Amino acid sequence: MTKISFTINGKQVSTDVEGRTLLVDLIRDELRLTGTHVGCDTSQCGCCTIELNGDMVKSCAMLAAQADGATITTIEGLAKGDVLHPVQQAFTECHGLQCGFCTPGMIMASVGILKANPNPSDDDIVKGLEGNLCRCTGYVNIIKSVKRAAELMKA
């Protein structure tokens, strides 16, 4: 067991973790932040994407112990009270989700894309979403949502 402390969605957390515990399992099972999903066991689906120290990372591909000292934002930490984050807002407006299982990861990845590039082209978005799978939407409305979010963020 290793003792770790980190900040998640603005809250300070200290806990003991087994060496082999994945960060995503800590977030879901212990902290009960179940908006971060697990869609695969080979780090390919991106359902588990979170923001860690400013970068978008797949939390299934990290050990919990590696998060010691980190600052983390998950999907639950994106909205400001009742006000959705522009990316969340855009996904809703553009029908960028169907079942919603990939959505937390897609939204986090999109936040990352827009952070790096406030005016992404379709190509930029497609590239930026390379690590995220969606089985429902065919991605067209997700790409639309990211563009719409870019507009909302400028306004």
Partner 1 sequence: MRPVASGGIGAPVARVEDRRLVTGAGRFVADAALPGMLHAAFVRSPHAHARIIAVDTAAARAMPGVHAVLTGADLLDAGVRPLPHAAVLRRADGTPMRAPPRHALAAGWVRHAGEAVAIVVAASAQTAADAAEAVAVEWEPHDAVVEARAALADGAPRVNREAPDNLLGVFAHGDPGAVDAAFAAAAHVARVEVVNNRLVANALEPRAALADWQDGRLTLRVGCQMPHLARAQLADAVFGIAPERVRVLVEDIGGGFGAKSFLYPEYVAVAQAARHTGRPVRWVATRSESFLADSHGRDSVSEAALALDADGTFLAMRVATVANVGAYVSHLGAVIPTLAGTKPLAGPYRTPLIDLDVRVVQTHTAPVDAYRGAGRPEAAYLVERLVEAAALATGIPALDLRRRNFVPRAAMPFTSAMGEVYDSGDFARVTALALAAADWDGHAGRRAAARARGRLGGRGLAYFIESTGAANPVESVRLELGAETVTVYSGTQNMGQGLETAYAQLVVEALGVDLARVRIVQGDTDRVARGGGSGGSRSLFIGGAAIGDACARLVALARARGAAPAADAWFAFARAQGGTLSVEGKVKVDAFSWPNGCHVCEVEIDRDTGAVAVTRFTAVDDVGRVINPLIVHGQVAGAVAQGLGQALLEEAVYDRRSGQLLTGSFADYAMPRAGIVRALGVFLDESAPCTTNPLGAKGAGEGGSIGAPPAVAAAVLDALAECGVTHLDMPFTAPKVWRALQRART
**36 binding partner 1? (CB under 8 A):** yes
Number of residues that make up the chain: 155
What does 52-100 look like in DSSP terms, one character per residue?
A: ETTEEEEGGGSBGGGGTT-EEE-GGGTSBTTBPPHHHHHHHHTT--SS-
> How far is the C-alpha of 12 from the C-alpha of 30, rounded, in Å?
14
- Provide, rounded to whole angstroms, the least separation between the CB of residue 119 and partner 1: 18
* 66 alpha-carbon distance from chain centroid: 18
Q: In the window 42-71, what residues touch partner 1 (CB under 8 A)?
A: 42, 44-45, 47
Site residues (vs ligand FES, CB under 6 A): 38-40, 43-48, 58, 60, 97-103, 134-137
- Provide, rounded to whole angstroms, the least separation between the CB of residue 2 and partner 1: 15
User: Which of 64, 75, 149, 150 lies at the binding interface for partner 1 (CB under 8 A)?
Assistant: 75
CB 106 within 8 A of CB 132: yes
> How far is the C-alpha of 73 from the C-alpha of 77, rounded, in Å?
6
Q: In the window 79-118, what residues touch partner 1 (CB under 8 A)?
A: 79, 84, 88, 91-93, 95, 97-104, 107
- Residues in contact with partner 1 by the rule CB under 8 A: 18, 20-21, 25, 28-29, 32-42, 44-45, 47, 74-76, 78-79, 84, 88, 91-93, 95, 97-104, 107, 122, 125-126, 129-130, 132-143
